[in-house]
Amino acid sequence: MSESHDTGFFYLPMKILAIETSCDETAIAIAEFSGSKKKPALSVLSNIVSSQMALHAKFGGVVPNLARREHQKNLPHILKMALQEAGMLARQPKKRSLREIEKILGREPELLKRFKKEVVTLKAPDIDAIAVTHGPGLAPALWVGVNFANALAKLWHKPIFPINHMEGHLYSALLNQGQKLAVIKFPALALLVSGGHTELVLIKNFGKYKIIGETLDDAAGEAFDKVARILGLPYPGGPEISKAAENSKVWRRALPRKLPRPMLNSKDYNFSFSGLKTAVLYLVRDLPRTQPLKIARPAIAKEFQSAVVDVLIAKTIRAAKEYKVKTILLGGGVAANKLLRKILAEETEKNLPTAGCRLPALCMTGDNALMIALAAILGKNKKTRKIIRADANIRLGN
Ligand code: KG4
Ligand code: ZN
């Protein structure tokens, strides 16, 4: 057991219970890391993701306070499921003072109620540490997970790894073949595309990051979601737009004009998607009567998807060449996009034949807690025994 070491990284073997609540998924995973410092091996003991998507879909997007309430309701139950799957669920009917826990969960009354009923009666599981997303994300949602982690750490006397959500998406790319971790060679470059972020991250080594480009306005996933709304498609828009695009057979003829590729030729590695969204809005507004949205929708969806992918890929490949990277990683919810995956693999092979391209397994693209456990270890993060705080605006590399 590595419990007495507070410096953090790479005391293997290590079992980590990870918690993720930065947006609309409540997720808990338990992972065991073994092997050597240089080559850690992973064994997934449990990986539970409970999505609130259907709930938020009615509102056309994630409602932060609704997410907060749902995380409070879900966490104790998801914890029990994760412990059960890992063979760690056992009861311990012991009375203990709950004063500290009551203080930690003072702002999460629903969670406190359930915690007292369902969690304090559990036997402390055989884990070495807790990892939790402390940012970036929706502040009310993040705080629930962070306070839950603080309370568990107090109850079970475990240290906490506070983890950056984007670092989780970054390492999720290494899980693309069951539980075997793919190799990463440095320098590496990650294209992280989610609902809240679009970033190109240069990775000098495990835990050493520099954001070399990012979106100046909407994130790629956000653009998919907003354009889906314009096209009359439900939330989340990413999968809906891809699906609609696949139905486009007559797309060039049905499309009155092409959409712009914003910042495609700008010298930096930044992105901008809000103008593209506005261009879609005008395109829809100007549709001829003979070609209503119902008919033009697949063509517009396809053209929009191509525009986003064109810009993402062009900048990624250009940055990869400039920094002479040896591995390209793709991560985030938009990494589920088939076209993006296909073109990134093709272009990497064409332009950087000696570099490898790592695409996360589809089940690892959306938010999950397994990626948070991965980041705790691979990112060489430090653990602490102090009460931690959420920070909705943290950035990689700062
Ligand atoms: O990483 P994620 O699950 O949550 C955040 O941290 O934001 O990303 C969610 C985003 C949503 O905007 C969703 O529309 C997008 O990922 N997305 C996709 C696809 N699947 C999900 N975007 C494009 N194509 C997809 N197949
Ligand atoms: Zn995410």
The confidence score (pLDDT) of residue 252 equals: 56
User: How far apart (Å, rounded) are the C-alpha atoms in residues 369 and 366?
Assistant: 10
Ligand nearest to the backbone CA of 335: 1
How large is the angle between the packed helices 165-172 and 370-378, nearest 10 degrees?
Answer: 90
Atom of ligand 1 nearest to the CA of 228: 14
Q: Could you give the angle at the alpha carbon of 79 between the alpha carbons of 70 and 221, nearest 5°?
A: 50
Sign of CA dihedral 87, 88, 89, 92: positive
Closest-CA residue, ligand 1 atom 22, reads 238
The alpha carbon of 221 and the centre of ligand 1 are apart by a number of angstroms equal to 5
Ligand nearest to the backbone CA of 332: 1
User: How far apart (Å, rounded) are the C-alpha atoms in residues 47 and 377?
Assistant: 17
Question: Cβ distance 360 to 177 under 8 Å?
Answer: no
The alpha carbon of 193 and the centre of ligand 1 are apart by a number of angstroms equal to 8
The alpha carbon of 336 and the centre of ligand 2 are apart by a number of angstroms equal to 12
Ligand nearest to the backbone CA of 168: 2
The confidence score (pLDDT) of residue 35 equals: 84
Atom of ligand 1 nearest to the CA of 219: 12
User: How far apart (Å, rounded) are the C-alpha atoms in residues 216 and 225?
Assistant: 17
CA atoms within 13 A on the CB side of 157: 7
What are the tokens at 267?
């010298």
User: How far apart (Å, rounded) are the C-alpha atoms in residues 13 and 32?
Assistant: 7
Residue whose token pair is 């972020």: 197
User: How far apart (Å, rounded) are the C-alpha atoms in residues 278 and 296?
Assistant: 17
Instruction: Please state the φ and ψ torsions of residue 209, each to the nearest 5 degrees.
Output: -125, 155
pTM of the model: 0.94
Closest-CA residue, ligand 1 atom 14, reads 238
β-strand partners of 329: 190, 358
The confidence score (pLDDT) of residue 10 equals: 58
User: How far apart (Å, rounded) are the C-alpha atoms in residues 226 and 114?
Assistant: 36
The alpha carbon of 277 and the centre of ligand 2 are apart by a number of angstroms equal to 21
The alpha carbon of 367 and the centre of ligand 1 are apart by a number of angstroms equal to 9
Max distance between CA atoms of the chain, in angstroms, equals 73
The alpha carbon of 314 and the centre of ligand 1 are apart by a number of angstroms equal to 20
What are the tokens at 188?
């590496």
- Select from 194, 233, 364 the residue to mutate for testing ligand 1; criterion: most ligand atoms less than 8 Å from CB: 194
The alpha carbon of 95 and the centre of ligand 1 are apart by a number of angstroms equal to 44
Question: Cβ distance 130 to 161 under 8 Å?
Answer: yes
- Select from 224, 302, 313 the residue to mutate for testing ligand 1; criterion: most ligand atoms less than 8 Å from CB: 224
The confidence score (pLDDT) of residue 6 equals: 32
User: How far apart (Å, rounded) are the C-alpha atoms in residues 18 and 136?
Assistant: 16
Q: Is 172 helix (H, G, I), strand (E, B) or coil?
A: helix
Ligand nearest to the backbone CA of 304: 1
Averaged pLDDT, groups of 10, the chain, 398 residues long: 38 92 96 84 96 85 90 97 97 82 95 96 96 97 98 97 98 93 96 97 96 98 97 94 84 76 96 97 92 90 97 98 98 98 98 97 97 95 96 91
Single-letter amino acid code for the residue at 199: E
The alpha carbon of 137 and the centre of ligand 2 are apart by a number of angstroms equal to 8
User: Which residues have any ligand 1 atom within 6 Å of their CB?
Assistant: 23, 194-196, 221-222, 224-225, 236-239, 242, 332-334, 336-337, 366-367
Ligand nearest to the backbone CA of 196: 1
